[in-house]
Structure 1
Amino acid sequence: MTIKPLILAISLLGFSTYGVAASSELVQETKQASQDQKQHNAQRESGFKQTEQSLKAQKNALIAERKQLQKESDVLSATFSKNEKTLATLEQQLHLETGSLGELFGVVRQTAKDLDVELKNSVTGMTDANNAEIINDIVAAKSLPSMSQLTALWQTMAQQAQASSDLSLIPITVINGAGHRSEINAYRLGNMALIGDEGFLHWDNKKQVATYYAQQPDLAPSVATLSIMEQQQVMMMVADPSRGIMLDQLANSPTLKDRLQAGGVVGKIILGLLSIGLLISLFNGVRLLVVRQQIRTQLKDPKNIGQNPLGRVLSVYDAEQNRSVEALELRLLETIVDEQQGLEKGLSMLKLLAALAPMLGLLGTVTGMIETFQVITQFGNGDPKVMAGGISMALVTTVLGLVAAMPLLLTHNILSSQAESIRTILEKQGLSLVAEQAEKETLNKPMGMAA
């Protein structure tokens, strides 16, 4: 029992000795760490102080620089204010010294612009462009023009005024319809027109070439005619005072042939019907005129029976004298009806054509509108030129139908009146023959009874 406590005491003694040794080592390590921390902190404090001194130095430098810049800004502000006052004084002095030169500068620039447009667009620009660069400088100038520029300006204006009254022969380059260039001599008619061998020329001042207008006016002058006029000192010609605008519009004006072509197939059919109707009208008109003349001749000489409607009616009377009045009347009526059919031959066709022409015009109108709507469906309605074909067909066919119907109706009415007039003459002559036969029978009856 005593051994166990002894062993326990010895163990406790060993543990206590080990604990004392361990705690002394820990104290040494703690002291060493504390010294290291102090050295580290001292180094950091030294770095912080150096950084603080550097920042203070930079701050002082920036403050000094700001003060220097503020001084310079104050100096510049004072200089700007002084310069502003000086500029205002100089501007007032300039305004007083220039006076109306500012308005003159505006007038000169505007005149130079107008003259520049004249040189670029007029036919005189091809020969009188010596001062074109000086004119362009005046237009683009921002200051008053110099004396040399003003001199060039009025000299160019004088040249233009002189050129507007001259008729001169000058060499130019012409491009024909096939695209070939050729050098020719053309007359320059003032500042209005340029005239070549085939008529008026359109001058392109940028390309320095001329082309003939698409359509020349009637009695358009040429180089040959102008040469003769110049020799005879007689100047009577067609001219375009608008400098080509009216000639351009002349090319856009459709001719009668263009309008007829715009009618298409329907328009050609209407014209064909009109031609047929006019031929029928002409034939029947001549035939009725001849018949009327024959009837007049027959009325003057009833005994000499000829080959005409009235002669055929009289021949029936001569052949039927022994018949009764009723039989003679029926024979005469039959002959008059036959002659009426001959007189009115072709008039029904003429009436049909007169009624058919406006209907075909309406057909062309509907066809043209359908074509127009198809074009609108495909390309939209932004460009009227795309729809022009259908609209032209719609309008032209309507006009052609009305134009064809009116003369056909008029000729049908005239010819029908002529035929009716001849028929009236035949009926009157037939009634007179029937009356004459009735009178003969009345005279013969008492004679027979008395016998």
Structure 2
Amino acid sequence: MRHLLLVGLMALTSHLAVAQENLLSTTEQAQQQEQQHNQNREQGFEQDLATLKKRQAALLAQRDALIADTDQLSGAFANNEKSLAELETELHLATGSLGELFGVVRQAAKELNLELQSSALVADKPEVLAILVTIEQARALPSMQELEGLWQAYVNAIQASGRISPIDLPYFDGEGQLQQQSLLRLGGFGLVNQQGYVAWDGKQAKSYIVQPDMTPTIGGLQQASNAIVSLDPSHGGLLQQLAEQPSFAQRFAHGGVVGKIIAGLFAIGMLIALYRGLRLFITRSQINAQLKRPEQPQNNPLGRVLQAYKADQDQAIEAIELRLLEQIVDEQQQLERGLSMIKLLAALAPMLGLLGTVTGMIETFQVITQFGNADPKVMASGISMALVTTVLGLISAMPLLLSHNILHAQAEAIRNILEKQSLGLVAQRAEANHSLKAVSDNAA
């Protein structure tokens, strides 16, 4: 048994020795490999360091070159600034007051260009406008050729403004067709064709929408040597305003329904006033004729008063006086018939105008709420209604009120005549009664 144990221990010992040797061999190999790897890495680091040093040296050289270039450019820039300042000083000394002259020339060319484009004075000479545009847009002193061109443009404009001369220009006809048409240039005031004045926008011509009174035409100017025509000194500005001025019908249409109601009431009131005025005039004529023949009563207010007196002349004086007063009241009612309606319409017209004003302002505020107040044209409808109805109300009220006062004064004048005549009749009857009483007293 011991022998077996010794043999086992020996075998185990030998096995452990072999394992130890293998482990030591493996460890040495791993150590050698690691040393080799470290050496390789150190060699790579040394190579990278050398490369970086070379690159650093190149960059430093490039930096030094850039610094040198910068210093050189800075010196050149400073020299250029100095040279530029010296040249500007020399230019200022050399030009003197030519700078102010250049500004005056540019301003004159700009003003003349605007005037010539709107008046068509040199529409047949586009080269003149080209020279003016060149001078206007120039950034240097004008040349002698440009100054002569400006002078020649002034000469051409002055010569053309004093003549009536034919000219062919592109024209838009009524069908929208662009074609060359022979026009007549009235100096610097405008262009005319067979229909009247023609607008010129610098490229083509077209007729104005509305022509003024005594509009000149080619045929009329050729036939009459001393014709009187309407001229527009604003080169078309006033003629364009004619198209924007609304007519009476357009202004009336702006009043809307309220404006039409006011116009209807005004017409009714004026018809009543005219009818009552005619009746009062006829009545006044009849009364004047009746005053010349009081013994023959006719069918008129004074005649009816005389008839009432004759019918009741056997009554007492108090009864006659009351009867005449009753007849005068009846006649007064006939004379003043319709005057209250005229007065009512005169008071109602401005109230309707105020109603239209309020309605128009409400419409204006609604438009402002929906679209804002950026565009005044959007609010123009409501404002026009507000103003037009106010004007219509005032215009309607004034003649109606004046008519009422005149007619009322006429009626009062007739009433005064009737009262005066009735009082005269009563006084005459009283005097007759007094005379009869005195005679009877004497006889007794």
Give TM-score, length-normalised by structure 1: 0.86
In the alignment, the residues of structure 1 paired with residue 74 and residue 293 of structure 2 have an alpha-carbon distance, to the nearest angstrom, of 131
- The answer (yes or no) to whether the contact 2:196–2:215 under 8 Å persists in 1 is yes
Alpha-carbon distance, 1:72 to partner: 4.2
- Which residue is equivalent to 1:130? 127
| In the alignment, structure 1 residue 193 sits paired with structure 2 residue 190 | yes
- Which residue is equivalent to 1:116? 113
Alpha-carbon distance, 1:167 to partner: 2.0
Provide Cα deviations, 1:31-51, integer angstroms capped at 9, x if missing partner: 333333333333333333333
| In the alignment, structure 1 residue 224 sits paired with structure 2 residue 219 | yes
Q: Structure 2 stretches of 5 or more lacking a match?
A: none
In the alignment, the residues of structure 1 paired with residue 340 and residue 320 of structure 2 have an alpha-carbon distance, to the nearest angstrom, of 30
- Which residue is equivalent to 2:42? 45
Root mean square deviation, CA, Å: 2.9
In the alignment, the residues of structure 2 paired with residue 240 and residue 66 of structure 1 have an alpha-carbon distance, to the nearest angstrom, of 76
Provide Cα deviations, 1:196-252, integer angstroms capped at 9, x if missing partner: 3333222121xx2222333333333222333245xx2x3643222222222223333
In the alignment, the residues of structure 1 paired with residue 60 and residue 255 of structure 2 have an alpha-carbon distance, to the nearest angstrom, of 94
Matched residue type, 2:280: L
> CA separation of 1:442/1:168 partners in 2, compared to 1, >3 Å: closer, same or farther?
same
Alpha-carbon distance, 1:191 to partner: 2.6
Matched residue type, 2:428: E
Alpha-carbon distance, 1:16 to partner: 1.4
Identity of matched residues, %:
52
In the alignment, the residues of structure 1 paired with residue 62 and residue 381 of structure 2 have an alpha-carbon distance, to the nearest angstrom, of 83
Alpha-carbon distance, 1:312 to partner: 2.4
Any idea what SS the aligned residue of 1:124 has? coil
In the alignment, the residues of structure 2 paired with residue 374 and residue 74 of structure 1 have an alpha-carbon distance, to the nearest angstrom, of 72
- Which residue is equivalent to 2:209? 214
Q: Which moved more, 1:47-56 or 1:259-268?
A: 47-56
Alpha-carbon distance, 1:68 to partner: 4.2
For residues 277-292 of structure 1, the aligned pairs below 5 Å read 277-292=269-284
| In the alignment, structure 1 residue 357 sits paired with structure 2 residue 339 | no
Q: Structure 1 stretches of 5 or more lacking a match?
A: none
- The answer (yes or no) to whether the contact 2:349–2:396 under 8 Å persists in 1 is yes
Provide Cα deviations, 1:137-181, integer angstroms capped at 9, x if missing partner: 333333333333333232223222322323212223433555355
In the alignment, the residues of structure 2 paired with residue 100 and residue 159 of structure 1 have an alpha-carbon distance, to the nearest angstrom, of 28
> CA separation of 1:89/1:443 partners in 2, compared to 1, >3 Å: closer, same or farther?
closer
In the alignment, the residues of structure 2 paired with residue 184 and residue 98 of structure 1 have an alpha-carbon distance, to the nearest angstrom, of 49
Among candidates 164, 167, 179, match of residue 164 of structure 2: 167
Give TM-score, length-normalised by structure 2: 0.87
Any idea what SS the aligned residue of 1:186 has? strand
> CA separation of 1:64/1:416 partners in 2, compared to 1, >3 Å: closer, same or farther?
closer
- The answer (yes or no) to whether the contact 1:112–1:138 under 8 Å persists in 2 is yes
Any idea what SS the aligned residue of 1:126 has? coil
| In the alignment, structure 1 residue 146 sits paired with structure 2 residue 146 | no
> CA separation of 1:69/1:158 partners in 2, compared to 1, >3 Å: closer, same or farther?
same
Any idea what SS the aligned residue of 1:138 has? helix
In the alignment, the residues of structure 1 paired with residue 127 and residue 152 of structure 2 have an alpha-carbon distance, to the nearest angstrom, of 10
Alpha-carbon distance, 1:391 to partner: 1.8
- Which residue is equivalent to 2:261? 269
In the alignment, the residues of structure 1 paired with residue 79 and residue 409 of structure 2 have an alpha-carbon distance, to the nearest angstrom, of 108
Matched residue type, 2:18: A
Matched residue type, 2:206: T
In the alignment, the residues of structure 2 paired with residue 243 and residue 6 of structure 1 have an alpha-carbon distance, to the nearest angstrom, of 146
- The answer (yes or no) to whether the contact 2:122–2:156 under 8 Å persists in 1 is no
Matched residue type, 1:358: P
In the alignment, the residues of structure 2 paired with residue 337 and residue 261 of structure 1 have an alpha-carbon distance, to the nearest angstrom, of 45
- The answer (yes or no) to whether the contact 1:369–1:394 under 8 Å persists in 2 is yes
Alpha-carbon distance, 1:74 to partner: 4.2
- The answer (yes or no) to whether the contact 2:118–2:235 under 8 Å persists in 1 is no
- The answer (yes or no) to whether the contact 1:123–1:193 under 8 Å persists in 2 is yes
- The answer (yes or no) to whether the contact 2:168–2:181 under 8 Å persists in 1 is yes
In the alignment, the residues of structure 1 paired with residue 255 and residue 43 of structure 2 have an alpha-carbon distance, to the nearest angstrom, of 109
Matched residue type, 1:351: K
- Which residue is equivalent to 1:309? 301
> CA separation of 1:433/1:18 partners in 2, compared to 1, >3 Å: closer, same or farther?
same
In the alignment, the residues of structure 2 paired with residue 74 and residue 320 of structure 1 have an alpha-carbon distance, to the nearest angstrom, of 138
| In the alignment, structure 1 residue 332 sits paired with structure 2 residue 332 | no
Alpha-carbon distance, 1:283 to partner: 2.4
Provide Cα deviations, 1:358-412, integer angstroms capped at 9, x if missing partner: 2322232233233223323332332222222222222222222222222222222
Provide Cα deviations, 1:309-359, integer angstroms capped at 9, x if missing partner: 222222333333433334433433333233222222222222222222223
Provide Cα deviations, 1:49-91, integer angstroms capped at 9, x if missing partner: 3333333333344444444444444444444444444444444
Matched residue type, 1:168: S
In the alignment, the residues of structure 2 paired with residue 102 and residue 32 of structure 1 have an alpha-carbon distance, to the nearest angstrom, of 96
> CA separation of 1:15/1:400 partners in 2, compared to 1, >3 Å: closer, same or farther?
same
> CA separation of 1:96/1:384 partners in 2, compared to 1, >3 Å: closer, same or farther?
closer
- The answer (yes or no) to whether the contact 1:193–1:200 under 8 Å persists in 2 is yes
For residues 423-438 of structure 1, the aligned pairs below 5 Å read 423-438=415-430
Matched residue type, 2:320: L
Matched residue type, 1:130: E
- The answer (yes or no) to whether the contact 2:210–2:242 under 8 Å persists in 1 is yes
In the alignment, the residues of structure 1 paired with residue 322 and residue 78 of structure 2 have an alpha-carbon distance, to the nearest angstrom, of 130
In the alignment, the residues of structure 1 paired with residue 170 and residue 340 of structure 2 have an alpha-carbon distance, to the nearest angstrom, of 64
In the alignment, the residues of structure 1 paired with residue 391 and residue 379 of structure 2 have an alpha-carbon distance, to the nearest angstrom, of 19
Among candidates 7, 19, 25, match of residue 4 of structure 2: 7
- Which residue is equivalent to 1:372? 364
> CA separation of 1:176/1:266 partners in 2, compared to 1, >3 Å: closer, same or farther?
farther
In the alignment, the residues of structure 2 paired with residue 323 and residue 18 of structure 1 have an alpha-carbon distance, to the nearest angstrom, of 185
In the alignment, the residues of structure 2 paired with residue 351 and residue 69 of structure 1 have an alpha-carbon distance, to the nearest angstrom, of 103
Matched residue type, 2:217: S
In the alignment, the residues of structure 2 paired with residue 45 and residue 306 of structure 1 have an alpha-carbon distance, to the nearest angstrom, of 154
- The answer (yes or no) to whether the contact 1:119–1:129 under 8 Å persists in 2 is no
